[in-house]
Structure 1
Amino acid sequence: MVSSLPTATTAHHQHQINYLQISRQSSSSHHHARTAAALSRSTAYSNPITITDPNNPTVAINGLTKRAQDKQQNGKNGTHGHQWTVLDIGGMGLKNLSTELFSYQFLTTLYLNHNNLTFLTPEIRRLRNLTHLDISGNKLTSVPAELGFLINLKELFMFDNLLETLPPQLGTLYQLENLGLEGNPIKEPLMSILYKDGIAELIAYLRDNCPAPLPPPEREWLTFESEKSDAGEQDNNVFTILTYNILSEKYATSQQYGYTPSWALEWEYRKDLILQEILSYNPDILCLQEVEASQYEEFFCEQLKQADYDSVFWVKSRAKTMSEWERKSVDGCATFFKSSMFNILDKQIVEFTQVAMKHPDFEKTEDFFNRFMTKDNISGLALLETKDSKQQLLVANAHIHWDPTFADVKLIQVSMLMNEITRHGSEWIKSYRLGYKDISKLPILICGDFNSSPTSGVCEFLSRGSVTCDHEDLVDHNYGKFTSKGLAHKIPLRSAYSQIGELPFTNFTAHFTGVIDYIWHSTGMLSVNGLLGGLDAEYVSRNVGFPNAQNPSDHICLLAEIKFKAPQTGPTNPQFRKSSVK
């Protein structure tokens, strides 16, 4: 028997009562579907049609490219253009749910209200696109912790059940705007927090009091070395390199990472985890991205110096226009190297906007000013030399623009990076009399966060050595002569992790999981002996995203053991790998 409506004690309590009353009025079978049908009969139906510019069929009048239109029409968040994304099976008296329901991953709204359900299966976690879930008016004594994986939820109604508590894992539902709990015998302090401070504070309470997940197993070390040294013999031609986007403090906000406990987002907590992770792998060369100037100067430089590291730091271009105090929070790229193993011969910052302004082939087009020049990404080049064998190595530390709608900018930034590596590397070969015939023979490593998937134009360009002017990342944009004939470079490169087909991911958040970080090496003079494998899949499946208690960044680090190859005799031509990228 449904109890009468309570008397409100606060505005938040009144909000609960208002929605409770609406919920109780929707107990008839398929109430929401019937209401929607009645509304549609009384409303004129319209379907927006893309109007195409006949002079440029790939560009619509509304400004979207055809490719963007197609993506928009195909739906967002994996709904793939389904004609229906709402399912109402409320008021049916159901005691059980078919497992087939949880294969409908295109659903955005699901009504299970006013049935006789006594439990909800953890399989509901598969419905990641849900924004509205109503399980009110059932006989639920608990809800599964896996509800916390439905991070797109805006409304979660659980009125009139038998719930006494909530799993703290629901603290990951940071986008919730409406949470219905009235009509449940929920124990304190949950309802007091809800009545007094509202939904956001209750979710924050659950999130910050959620037990930390069990730590993952150690990442596996994968070996590819074909010619091993004798036992106990140190190979002076072998070194390790690690790249890591450590997530800048200013980017680690509760708005961006609302699923992460506030204490696990704090820089004071994360910085120690980052340092411990670095020291545990003890790389010979270390490339860090998103390092704030103050963090480099006051923490990393000091701490890593004690572990035999020397370093160089390049800050983003915007720092030039700031006061000394403001500059401290600007991030950049830091390259560290073991001072007992390497000397640094030279270094150079690559400021993409500054290089572009001086480049004669860049026309000052609308795309140039509105798309490219508004980004202040940088990369840093360091020319190192081993102390024992006097072998030189050019190490590039790159951080490319993040926004997926600016694929053209990413591709041009990486093309400019290759131009600058070629230019400065060639100058260094001459000025330091390095003995290499040309830049293709110089050992080169290019590490960092490229914000580009393995099938992107960026990776096609790096691995194949060129992209054509009609590549989908360039075709709709105008940068003058710089792109009119396509883009090319002459340094044969390979991703170190391509030997295993790349990792499952290098970046893991609630809304994105994919490979965007790389260690690229020149194939002429360097080979890969070993790699650090990915994180345990079972551990990953228990988490919504990073950062968390054990992983201080939304990225994971990459680590490779690299070997200098013996110099080749006779003339050779650059050999680029074939790619399946279309």
Structure 2
Amino acid sequence: MQHHHHQNSLGHYPSPPSHQQQSPAAQPISTHWQQQLMKYEETMRTARSPHHRARASAMASRGVAKSAITITNPNKPSEEDNPPSPSLALAVAIGHPSSTIAPSAEPVMRPAAPRPPENTWTQLDMGGVNIKSIPPSSGLFSFTFLTCLYLNHNALTSVPPEIAKLRHLDLLDLSGNNLTSVPPEIGMVITLRELYLFDNHLSTIPPEFGTLHRLKTLGIEGNPIDSNLKAILQKDGTPALISYLRDSCPMPVQPPPRPLIQINPHEPGMETFKVISYNILCERAATAKMYGYTPTWALVWDYRKARILEEVTDSKADIVCLQEADMGQYEDFFSRRLAELGYEGVYGAKSRYKTMQDSDRRLVDGCATFFKKDRYQLVESHLIEFNSIAMQRQDFKKTDDMFNRVLGKDHIAVVVLLEDLVSGTRIIVSNTHLHWDAAYSDVKLVQTALLLEEIEKVAHGFAKYPPRPPDTPAADDEDSVGARPPPPTYADGTKIPLLACGDYNSMPSSGVYDFLSTGSLSPTHPDFLSHTYGNYTSEGLRHKLGLKSAYTTVGAGGVPEEILSMTNVTPGFRGVLDYVWYSPGNLILNSVVGEIEKMYLEKTVGFPNPHFPSDHIPLTATFTVKPQREISIPRPPPVFS
């Protein structure tokens, strides 16, 4: 196939006539298309010679020492005793590679852009060296630190899908080849800002490119491209074309259900229950600016809330813990729809709602806990406002860090005290959402310590409550009621089954995780960031709740391993932030819902997407209540003033 060179320039377009009435053929060229043609002319004029950009960079930085390595033509791999020509070199360019598109400052989005691994060079120029093919096994795809890759003006007829491994590319130039198609996997490289496909044989653009929401320039001139796609780019520019591709992309294949992982078998006749914990991504946070890779229709709240409700109902959970549920949606949707399904709910909003008008406070998010009302009765509920509790601590009042770092964070927890209507078993359920910023690991530690202290106080009081009187049996149910064991009593709060669910915004390597799982933390732990928080940083952290993560198992050599590799899935982060902590002293973990299929995740830029309505995934676990071996003497009921 002969190489296709499309001759076109601004000079080939007639100037618009001076009179106001213009024929359609003589309409002025849009600014977007002018930029396209200017870049096309620049690329075709300057980049046909081998390693043009590397040599230009070397000239621009003459006199300054630069790192350079030799690059071998993938079609002619060299032996160790036959080194390649020094002319096949890579040079690190200074500044942005494009002379017409300047880098733009962009606000930090919730799903932060992935950062490339550190390396002494990040740009590779393999342009104009007559490369005919790049094998999928090429070492090129191991250079994951690359930010710019030039493969222009070669003889490529295809590009392998493995190019998607270069997840940190800012610029990719495939101009001047013999490509009739480009791999849709390029849509996984969402860091791209410039993608040049000039002078090929492309008739269309893969709809998967719709995820490239950071792309500023898509160069398509010199291709027999689909007229509809070209018209969008000519009129409204690259962002408009990317939006069109994103929203018209076919629905991806549904992944298989997440597997159920059995931990301990359930014994017949034992009391069991199921819990689901889920950060649902509140409506106001799910914007195209924050999640530009997600189809617009899949970000719409009406679509997402239906999928969230489907996740909850399909779980058939007895207890439901939702984070990032805003007040309006709790009142208008979740409380009503879940009530229809037999749930009762308790809600707590972040502290800021107290200072807002009614219309604004409905947008404030918080934590919502639901329970099956034919299974449990609500004894008490507690709203824990971390900044308010911190203000009351005498040892905190002398620290500037408390005022400067903790008080401005209005995160909360909702703690409910439940009692089984049949057995009388008590359960404490905590539902929380901690601060998100990794630069405030000290604040997360303080919030966690405050939470566990409050849980211990609540549990201690709950243990003193007398057992619930048995229900009056029906006439035809006397035998079964007579055989029913008496309700349990609790010597202290640690004997009551406990769940501590939520989005802790902390990875398993964090101080928060260490503290929750071990019961203590050194006052000099690095996550305190050398800040001062009274007794916490003079004596360390302690709790007596004996917690364990439901998603942690014992691996080889007794080393704990996480069952899930990620609970939060965005382009810039894939990792575990959400947990279901439980008290193994009085609960047996039976099963958890496992990972999303690996193959599906490999082809997914991030969540939310059409199948997963939040950037977090739900955690679901089933427990058995351990029978009490000893029945303590009931304590007198508490005296209330």
Tell me the residue number matched to 1:120. 159
Which residue number in structure 2 is paired with residue 566 of structure 1? 627
The one-letter amino acid paired with 1:94 is I
Corresponding position of 2:8: 4
Q: Secondary structure at the match of 2:427?
A: strand
Give the Cα separation in 2 of the matches to 1:278 and 1:324: 28
Q: Does 1:89 align with 2:132?
A: no
The 1:312/1:570 distance shift into structure 2, 3 A limit, reads: closer
Cα RMSD for the two superposed structures: 1.9
Distance 1:184 1:365 in 2: 65
Question: Among residues 483, 490, 506, which one is paired with 2:567 in the alignment?
Answer: 506
1:483 to 534, 537, 550: 537
Counterpart residue number, 1:33: 54
**Further displaced range: 92-101 or 415-424:** 92-101
Matches for 1:510-549 after TM superposition, within 5 Å:
510-549=571-610
Instruction: Choose from 339, 348, 360 the match for 2:394.
Output: 360
Instruction: Report the 3-state secondary structure (helix = DSSP H, G, I; strand = E; otherwise coil) of the residue aligned with 2:527.
Output: coil
Which residue in 2 is equivalent to 1:295? 329
The SS at the match of 1:397 is strand
SS at match of 2:548: strand
Report 1:431-470 matches (<5 A).
431-432=465-466, 435-470=489-524
- Aligned 8 A contact 1:502 1:515 in 2: no
| Partners of 1:253 and 1:265 within 8 A in 2 | yes
Count of matched residue pairs:
537
1:340-395 deviation per Cα after TM superposition (whole angstroms, max 9, x unaligned): 00000001011010000001121453422232222111110000000010011110
Task: Using the TM superposition, give the Cα deviation of residue 174 of structure 1 relative to its aligned residue in structure 2, in angstroms.
Answer: 0.4
Deviates more, 1:25-34 or 1:261-270: 25-34
Output the amino acid matched with 1:129: H
Match of 1:15 among 35, 53, 58: 35
**Letter of the 2:274 counterpart:** T
Give SS of 1:335's match.
Answer: strand
More divergent stretch after superposition (301-310 vs 2-11): 2-11
For 1:471, the equivalent position in structure 2 comes to 525
Equivalent residue for 1:557, pick from 593, 618, 631: 618
Show the counterpart of 1:51: none
In the alignment, the residues of structure 1 paired with residue 591 and residue 141 of structure 2 have an alpha-carbon distance, to the nearest angstrom, of 40
User: Cα 1:90–1:366, aligned 2, differ >3 Å: closer, same or farther?
Assistant: farther
User: How far has the Cα of 1:78 moved from its partner?
Assistant: 5.4
Larger Rg: 2
Q: List gaps (5 residues or longer) in structure 2.
A: 14-27, 67-112, 468-487, 554-560, 633-641
Q: Secondary structure at the match of 2:347?
A: strand
State whether residues 264 and 549 of structure 1, in contact with CA within 8 Å, keep that contact through their aligned partners in structure 2.
yes
Residues 274-293 of structure 1: per-residue CA shift (max 9 Å, x gap): 11111111100000001011
Judge conservation of contact 2:489–2:631 (CA < 8 Å) in 1: no
Partner of 2:22: none
Task: Please say if residues 385 and 412 of structure 2, whose CA atoms lie closer than 8 Å, have aligned partners that are also in contact.
Answer: yes
Find the partner of 1:173 among 212, 224, 228: 212
Corresponding position of 1:576 = none
- Which is worse superposed, 85-94 or 492-501? 492-501
**TM-superposed deviation, 1:81:** 2.4
Q: 1:42 Cα shift?
A: 5.2
Q: Which runs of 5+ in 1 are unaligned?
A: 46-75, 572-582
What's the CA shift for 1:296?
0.7
For the Cα contact (< 8 Å) 2:40–2:198, is it kept in 1? yes
Residue matched to 2:254: 215
The answer to whether the 8 Å contact 2:204/2:225 transfers is: yes
Q: Larger deviation: 433-442 or 544-553?
A: 433-442
**CA distance in structure 2 between the aligned counterparts of 1:449 and 1:297, rounded to whole angstroms:** 22
- Is 2:547 the partner of 1:493? yes
* Secondary structure of 1:473 counterpart: helix
Structure 2 residue 320 is matched with structure 1 residue 286: yes
Structure 1 segment 297-312 matched on structure 2, within 5 A: 297-312=331-346
Consecutive aligned runs of 4 or more in structure 1 exceeding 3 Å deviation: 42-45, 76-80, 363-366, 431-435, 568-571
- Return the match for 2:188 from 143, 146, 149: 149
Cα distance in 1 for partners of 2:238, 2:398 equals 50
Cα distance, 1:162 vs structure 2: 1.2
**What do the CA deviations read for 1:201-235 (whole angstroms, capped 9, x no partner)?**
11100000001111111121122334521xxxx54
Shift, 1:475, TM fit: 4.1
Q: Is the partner of 1:101 in helix, strand or coil?
A: helix
Structure 2: how far apart are the matches of 1:358 and 1:136? 65
Do the aligned partners of 1:361 and 1:482 also contact (CA within 8 Å) in 2? no
- Which moves more between the two structures, 108-117 or 429-438? 429-438
| Deviation larger for 99-108 or 368-377 | 368-377
Q: Is the 2:264–2:588 contact (alpha carbons within 8 Å) kept by the matching residues of 1?
A: no
Query: Retained in 1: the 8 A contact 2:117–2:144?
Result: no
> What residue number does 2:238 align with?
199
| Contact 1:363-1:479 within 8 A present in 2 as well | no
Residue number among 348, 351, 356 corresponding to 1:322 in the alignment: 356
CA distance in 2, matches of 1:193, 1:42: 45
Q: Letter of the aligned partner of 2:58 in structure 1? A: A
Matched, 1:370 2:408: no
Post-superposition CA distance 1:128-160 (Å, at most 9, x none)? 011111111111111100000001111111111
Residue 43 of structure 1 deviates from its aligned partner by 6.0
What is the CA distance between 1:476 and its match in structure 2? 2.1
The structure-2 alpha-carbon separation of the partners of 1:484 and 1:161, relative to structure 1 and needing over 3 Å to count, comes to same
1:406 and 2:410 matched: no
Q: Hey, what's the Cα distance between the residues in 1 that align with 2:245 and 2:167?
A: 20
Does structure 1 retain, via aligned residues, the 8 Å contact 2:278–2:618?
yes
Identity across matched positions, percent: 45
**Partner secondary structure for residue 361 of structure 1:** helix
Tell me the distance in 2 between the aligned counterparts of 1:344 and 1:432. Answer: 15
- Could you give the per-residue CA deviations for residues 321-354 of structure 1, whole angstroms, max 9, x where no partner exists? 0011111111110000000000000010110100
Q: Are 1:469 and 1:475, in contact at CA under 8 Å, matched by a contact in 2? A: no
TM-score, normalization: structure 2? 0.81
**CA displacement at 1:250 relative to structure 2:** 0.5
Q: For residues 307 and 367 of structure 1, what CA distance do their matches in structure 2 show?
A: 46
Task: Kindly indicate whether residue 173 of structure 2 is the aligned counterpart of residue 134 of structure 1.
Answer: yes
Show the counterpart of 1:392.
426
Give CA deviations for 1:494-545 in whole Å, capped at 9, x if unaligned.
Answer: 0011136331211111111111111000121111011111211122222111
Matched, 1:189 2:228: yes
CA distances 1:4-47 after superposition (whole Å, capped 9, x unpaired) = 315371111101011111111121111111111111115699xx
* CA distances 1:66-109 after superposition (whole Å, capped 9, x unpaired): xxxxxxxxxx9454321111111111111112511111111111
Q: Secondary structure at the match of 1:379?
A: strand
Distance 1:552 1:498 in 2: 25
1:427 is matched with 461
Q: Is the 8 A contact 1:164 1:187 kept in 2?
A: yes
- Which deviates further from its counterpart, 318-327 or 18-27? 18-27
Matches of 2:536 and 2:355, distance apart in 1: 28
Deviates more, 1:3-12 or 1:212-221: 3-12
SS of residue in 2 equivalent to 1:269: helix
